[in-house]
Amino acid sequence: MSKRFAHIISHLLGPEVLWPIVIVLLLTATGWSSLTHWPVTFGFISVELLLPLGLFYVLHTLGLITDWDMTNVKERRLFFTVLIILHGASVGLLYYWATPLAWQLRLAMWVAQTIGTVVTFSWKISAHLALLAALITSCVVLFGWPWLLLGVVAPLLMWSRVALHKHTVAQTIAGATLTPLVMILVLWLF
């Protein structure tokens, strides 16, 4: 039963749920008129969601990725590298067509993602916790300090990732702390 609960938590608070929420926040809560720039919005959604999902499907079909979590750290290298390139294009799109706040938030997430990717080449930092931390940090920037309360789910997600033998406690803590620290630094610089 506890293993099944851990799977449920891992999926409910996983990239497949949290990343679309982050994208919606960037499109709606930053003052960007995404409807008037629909070609740019489509390009943004393509490089953030559609192309990465297509790449995952192709790599999985070819046997280069064996499971959704990319448990084997070597399987993460190609996918995460291409993801960094695609998401870098997204930062460029937002720089030219979105509000400064949308661009700054995405830039901060991208820098944290890039550092996390470099780390994960040799040590499997938790992308689940990094993404949850990015969402919480973005909500605090956009809506204020009370949104830190979202952090109450972090220990539950940490437990699930460790219970499923996907990460160590240290890898989950690293994922949860690296992202907000980097995002705050980048937002402070810009």
Which residue range forms the structural domain that includes residue 137? Answer: 2-189
Report which of 55, 126, 123, 41 is spatially closest to residue 84, judged by C-alpha positions.
Answer: 55
Q: Report which of 184, 26, 17 is spatially closest to residue 106, judged by C-alpha positions.
A: 26
Number of structural domains the chain divides into: 1
Mean pLDDT of 134-144: 96
The whole-number pLDDT of residue 34 equals 62
pTM above 0.75?
yes
Residue 178's identity, in one-letter code, is L
User: What are the tens digits of pLDDT across the range 151-168?
Assistant: 999 999 999 999 999 999
Please state the φ and ψ torsions of residue 49, each to the nearest 5 degrees.
-125, -55
The answer on pLDDT for 178 being more than 80 is yes
- Condensed to tens digits (0 to 9), the pLDDT of residues 107-120 reads 999 999 999 999 99
> Do the Cβ atoms of 125 and 170 come closer than 8 Å?
no
pLDDT of residue 36: 66
| ∠ Cα 184 186 190 (to 5°) | 115
pLDDT in tens, 123-135: 999 999 999 999 9
| pLDDT 10s digits, 31-78 | 877 656 788 888 899 999 999 999 999 999 999 999 888 888 889 999
Q: What is the pLDDT of residue 59?
A: 95
What pLDDT does residue 40 have? 82
**Dihedral class, residue 81 (left if φ above 0, else alpha if ψ from -120 to 50, else beta):** alpha
Residue 133, classed as helix, strand or coil, is helix
Residues ≥6 apart with Cβ < 8 Å to 155: none
